[in-house]
A and B are shown apart, each in its own frame.
Chain A
């Protein structure tokens, strides 16, 4: 079964990069441009894994993760956050919000797929 990954990032470049890496690894990719949009796409596509940026307009990554985690239907979905640099404070805050793991940008496709494998059943 093809697994679906939801990517949430306001940067078109980053969404394209993620799509390229994920589609190349056989994932089905759905995209959202910010946290609010992400919650909408979530309900429509029920992804197996979520990858989200932190700095986004409307609803940022922290808020998005928290919203996913309080929803009984979705709180078991693994969420990977994209951090631009290994910023410990940001990473910790994302983890407190409920992030499952993280991917340090810039990522390479193998590392990305690796991270998904580690969190996805």
Chain B
């Protein structure tokens, strides 16, 4: 990848950040926080995108960004008031801008009609009085990448404004207009190549760190020059203003170049010096001498009578800021011709209190990462730390086997090692952890689009954007969230009319929240819509042959029918949700990640989808138990308590089941060995140990195991990657003694138990949690 391509990659990364800043700023404005800083930041975001796009010749992007930027410029200078309507327009424009960025990146196509309409809308906002002029190709397109923009003006007005301002020096310079056209230039070339350039710098020229000597050097690049200094205006030393400019230079230049080329030399000092460019020998050396001698300045007396000749090659100009002293022509005028800048910088280095800080050149933007590391390196590090944890556990076990006292130095050293290992592990995981913000920030746009497509009014409220989760998990969050949000707006929210009729705010609220719970990340998507129409869901499920009509279902079970394959409640397939992807697909993709999805709904008040995923596939705190001779690990986060049941607490329920009385409630007893198929018949629960566990949905169960070995941190080894998914098993691990143990998926075990008794229909129907 060449350097330019690498920068282009940077550019698109930066675009992502800028687009996020843009949207964030606009959303802040929407909430009424439109202070100057926000508007400026929003403007800068678009401005920077445009600047970079220009550098790469991404014209459609530049064009759109320019129109956008122009409006934002008007907003920040208060020419256009920032109204809610305007901010809504700006938000939509930011979406189109994002499309342009994606398109420039080769990741999609911009809908030209949408873009053109948006651009027209922006223009109309910028200048409401402007007629919708057919300015199809407005001259806003900048030159494409790396192509010189050097069109010199054909007509130049010299010194028109600034000459008038320069009265303090008493120069009486008449502004004059020089019209150059190509024909004239051609004629000039035919006549001769000698030009006379007269330069009279003003103090402003030096104030801006421009330099006559450098102008002469530039002229010398065009051809041989002879420069004569007119120092006549220099006052006696006691009257000399060190900051003023007194000298006039007359340069004889021989060049093949045309007048434009000469004039270009003076581009940066336009207005800061009086400039005359004439063809031919305007000033003889004698005349120059006469002018010099006529001058009152004592300096002139000693001046060399010959004009100093500056040739093209060896113009040595030092970096000293005293301009005239550095120029070779200085011998012509011993007195300072102009001392515009301060004396040469004192050698003493200025105090640099912030020296340490300045080393840090590439300061990150807010909330963005600084170091770029190949993820494979981090993955490798995580694997290694995993091995370290296992190794440390093995070591601890061996030491335990030798019966070494816990107070011994060895045991204490091992404890410290364990502490350190854990800290290393946490730190390494933190490297890969990222806030879910990167996914969340794409959602406001989705909500706007879906709302406008479905004719709903929706406001997205986000919470917990900074919740961190492993990068590998983040990448997989986007699709399920997208689908749940679409579903919430399309199926959950009512139309504004219906909402009004129901006494609700016509604008529906969709909430997207992320939080950590029980060592997992939970994503909740809720709406304040009409809730699930259970009657209808039930009848559709029957109609589609998904469930048996005589089956009695709880409300919760009916709600979960929507996760069944082939279920779709929309009467007509809408553009939005009905893309052939049902909630069943979402559910399956979530399960593939080791996650779960569930729904709760209240009629008339809305529904909540809850998605829970493991934070990471790396480590887990677990309880090691024995079941039918097998060693299993139960995630500690799911365990409420462990106990030995007394015979009177166990009550039979139905033909095979039984429940455990725990304080004031009954919880189902589940024999893990039976559920996982380790044994055919359960031993009496009173002979084993019971782990009271709580599932994602808050439901409790009592898992029966044979014995408890204790609590341990284990490294998760994915079963899916190494073998395949097994119902009731979340993953596997390697224990301290080197044996492989399975990690129990508590929720799956609870739901497996639920479907144990024979049912009239396919058991999977009720499996949806």
Interface residues of A (CB under 8 A from B): 10-17, 20, 30-33, 37, 40-41, 43-45, 48, 55-57, 69, 72-79, 84-86, 95, 98-102, 104-111, 118-121
A11–B54 alpha-carbon span in the complex (Å): 13
Q: A residues within 8 A CB of B265?
A: 118
User: Given A75-B341, A119-B209, are A44 and B148 neighbors across the interface (CB < 8 Å)?
Assistant: no
Question: B14 touching A12 by the CB < 8 A rule?
Answer: yes
How far is the CB of A57 from the nearest CB of chain B, in Å?
Answer: 7
A11–B51 alpha-carbon span in the complex (Å): 9
A sample of 27 cross-chain residue pairs with beta-carbon separation below 8 angstroms, ordered by A number, consists of A13-B7, A13-B51, A13-B55, A14-B55, A16-B10, A20-B3, A32-B358, A37-B358, A55-B44, A55-B47, A56-B44, A57-B40, A57-B44, A73-B350, A76-B209, A85-B140, A86-B149, A99-B208, A105-B54, A106-B144, A111-B150, A118-B218, A118-B268, A119-B214, A120-B214, A121-B211, A121-B318
How far is the CB of A113 from the nearest CB of chain B, in Å?
Answer: 12
Question: A73 touching B208 by the CB < 8 A rule?
Answer: no
A4–B363 alpha-carbon span in the complex (Å): 20
Question: B207 touching A13 by the CB < 8 A rule?
Answer: no
A14–B54 alpha-carbon span in the complex (Å): 11
Question: A75 touching B342 by the CB < 8 A rule?
Answer: yes
List 7 additional A-B contacts (Cβ < 8 Å) besides A33-B362, A40-B358: A12-B10, A12-B14, A84-B54, A85-B140, A98-B207, A102-B268, A108-B146
B533 interface contact, C-beta 8 A: no
Q: B residues within 8 A CB of A86?
A: 149
Indicate with 1 or 0, residue by residue over B216-260, a CB within 8 angstroms of chain A CB atoms.
Answer: 001000000000000000000000000000000000000000000
Question: A119 touching B7 by the CB < 8 A rule?
Answer: no
The residue of chain A having its C-beta at the shortest distance from the C-beta of B218 within the complex is A118
- From the candidates B11, B13, B14, B342, name the one contacting A76 in the complex (CB within 8 A): B342
Question: A121 touching B363 by the CB < 8 A rule?
Answer: no
How far is the CB of B209 from the nearest CB of chain A, in Å?
Answer: 5
How far is the CB of A66 from the nearest CB of chain B, in Å?
Answer: 12
- From the candidates A48, A55, A69, name the one contacting B207 in the complex (CB within 8 A): A69
Question: B47 touching A100 by the CB < 8 A rule?
Answer: no
How far is the CB of A39 from the nearest CB of chain B, in Å?
Answer: 9
How far is the CB of B142 from the nearest CB of chain A, in Å?
Answer: 6
- From the candidates A45, A56, A106, name the one contacting B145 in the complex (CB within 8 A): A106
Lowest 9 CB-CB distances: which A-B pairs, in order?
A: A76-B321, A101-B268, A13-B52, A13-B11, A108-B146, A76-B341, A40-B354, A44-B358, A106-B55
User: Given A37-B358, A111-B148, A118-B218, are A85 and B142 neighbors across the interface (CB < 8 Å)?
Assistant: yes
A8–B159 alpha-carbon span in the complex (Å): 31
How far is the CB of A32 from the nearest CB of chain B, in Å?
Answer: 7
B759 interface contact, C-beta 8 A: no
How far is the CB of A100 from the nearest CB of chain B, in Å?
Answer: 5
The residue of chain B having its C-beta at the shortest distance from the C-beta of A97 within the complex is B208
Question: B142 touching A106 by the CB < 8 A rule?
Answer: yes
The residue of chain A having its C-beta at the shortest distance from the C-beta of B368 within the complex is A12
B64 interface contact, C-beta 8 A: no
Indicate with 1 or 0, residue by residue over B134-169, a CB within 8 angstroms of chain A CB atoms.
Answer: 000000101111111110000000000000000000
B373 interface contact, C-beta 8 A: no
Question: A33 touching B363 by the CB < 8 A rule?
Answer: yes
B39-61 with Cβ < 8 A to chain A: 40-41, 43-44, 47-48, 50-52, 54-57
Q: A residues within 8 A CB of B3?
A: 20
A48–B207 alpha-carbon span in the complex (Å): 16
B317 interface contact, C-beta 8 A: yes
B572 interface contact, C-beta 8 A: no
Q: B residues within 8 A CB of A43?
A: 350-352, 354-355, 358
Question: B361 touching A84 by the CB < 8 A rule?
Answer: no
Q: A residues within 8 A CB of B345?
A: 73-74, 76
How far is the CB of B366 from the nearest CB of chain A, in Å?
Answer: 10
Q: B residues within 8 A CB of A109?
A: 146
A48–B214 alpha-carbon span in the complex (Å): 14
User: Given A13-B11, A37-B358, are A106 and B143 neighbors across the interface (CB < 8 Å)?
Assistant: yes
* Total cross-chain contacts (CB, 8 A): 152
- From the candidates B7, B41, B318, name the one contacting A17 in the complex (CB within 8 A): B7
The residue of chain A having its C-beta at the shortest distance from the C-beta of B326 within the complex is A121
How far is the CB of B336 from the nearest CB of chain A, in Å?
Answer: 15
Q: B residues within 8 A CB of A101?
A: 210, 267-268
Q: A residues within 8 A CB of B50?
A: 84
Question: A14 touching B352 by the CB < 8 A rule?
Answer: no
How far is the CB of A26 from the nearest CB of chain B, in Å?
Answer: 15
B113 interface contact, C-beta 8 A: no
User: Given A20-B4, A31-B362, are A40 and B357 neighbors across the interface (CB < 8 Å)?
Assistant: yes
Question: B208 touching A121 by the CB < 8 A rule?
Answer: no
- From the candidates B4, B209, B357, B358, name the one contacting A100 in the complex (CB within 8 A): B209
The residue of chain A having its C-beta at the shortest distance from the C-beta of B211 within the complex is A121
The residue of chain A having its C-beta at the shortest distance from the C-beta of B318 within the complex is A121
Question: A41 touching B358 by the CB < 8 A rule?
Answer: yes
How far is the CB of B13 from the nearest CB of chain A, in Å?
Answer: 8
The residue of chain A having its C-beta at the shortest distance from the C-beta of B356 within the complex is A44
Q: B residues within 8 A CB of A75?
A: 207, 209, 341-342
Q: A residues within 8 A CB of B7?
A: 13, 16-17, 20
Q: B residues within 8 A CB of A98?
A: 207-209
How far is the CB of B12 from the nearest CB of chain A, in Å?
Answer: 9
Q: A residues within 8 A CB of B55?
A: 13-14, 17, 105-107
How far is the CB of B22 from the nearest CB of chain A, in Å?
Answer: 14
B326-365 with Cβ < 8 A to chain A: 326, 341-342, 345-346, 350-352, 354-355, 357-359, 361-363
Q: A residues within 8 A CB of B4?
A: 20
The residue of chain A having its C-beta at the shortest distance from the C-beta of B37 within the complex is A57
How far is the CB of B57 from the nearest CB of chain A, in Å?
Answer: 8
How far is the CB of A83 from the nearest CB of chain B, in Å?
Answer: 10
- From the candidates A11, A55, A78, name the one contacting B52 in the complex (CB within 8 A): A11
- From the candidates B54, B208, B319, name the one contacting A95 in the complex (CB within 8 A): B208
Question: A11 touching B148 by the CB < 8 A rule?
Answer: no
Question: A10 touching B44 by the CB < 8 A rule?
Answer: yes
A100–B48 alpha-carbon span in the complex (Å): 23
Question: B54 touching A106 by the CB < 8 A rule?
Answer: yes
How far is the CB of A16 from the nearest CB of chain B, in Å?
Answer: 4
How far is the CB of B712 from the nearest CB of chain A, in Å?
Answer: 46
A86–B140 alpha-carbon span in the complex (Å): 11
Question: A84 touching B51 by the CB < 8 A rule?
Answer: yes
B14, B350, B358 pick with most chain A CB within 10 angstroms: B358
A33–B40 alpha-carbon span in the complex (Å): 16
A56–B268 alpha-carbon span in the complex (Å): 23
The residue of chain A having its C-beta at the shortest distance from the C-beta of B41 within the complex is A57
Q: B residues within 8 A CB of A31?
A: 361-362
A37–B359 alpha-carbon span in the complex (Å): 11
Q: B residues within 8 A CB of A12?
A: 10, 13-14, 362
- From the candidates A16, A32, A84, name the one contacting B47 in the complex (CB within 8 A): A84
Question: A119 touching B210 by the CB < 8 A rule?
Answer: yes
A82–B210 alpha-carbon span in the complex (Å): 17
The residue of chain B having its C-beta at the shortest distance from the C-beta of A14 within the complex is B51
Question: A100 touching B146 by the CB < 8 A rule?
Answer: no
Q: B residues within 8 A CB of A106?
A: 51, 54-57, 142-147
- From the candidates B13, B342, B358, name the one contacting A72 in the complex (CB within 8 A): B342
User: Given A105-B51, A105-B55, are A11 and B147 neighbors across the interface (CB < 8 Å)?
Assistant: no
Question: A48 touching B268 by the CB < 8 A rule?
Answer: no
The residue of chain A having its C-beta at the shortest distance from the C-beta of B272 within the complex is A95
Question: B341 touching A121 by the CB < 8 A rule?
Answer: no
The residue of chain B having its C-beta at the shortest distance from the C-beta of A78 within the complex is B209
The residue of chain A having its C-beta at the shortest distance from the C-beta of B40 within the complex is A57
- From the candidates B143, B148, B210, B213, name the one contacting A78 in the complex (CB within 8 A): B210
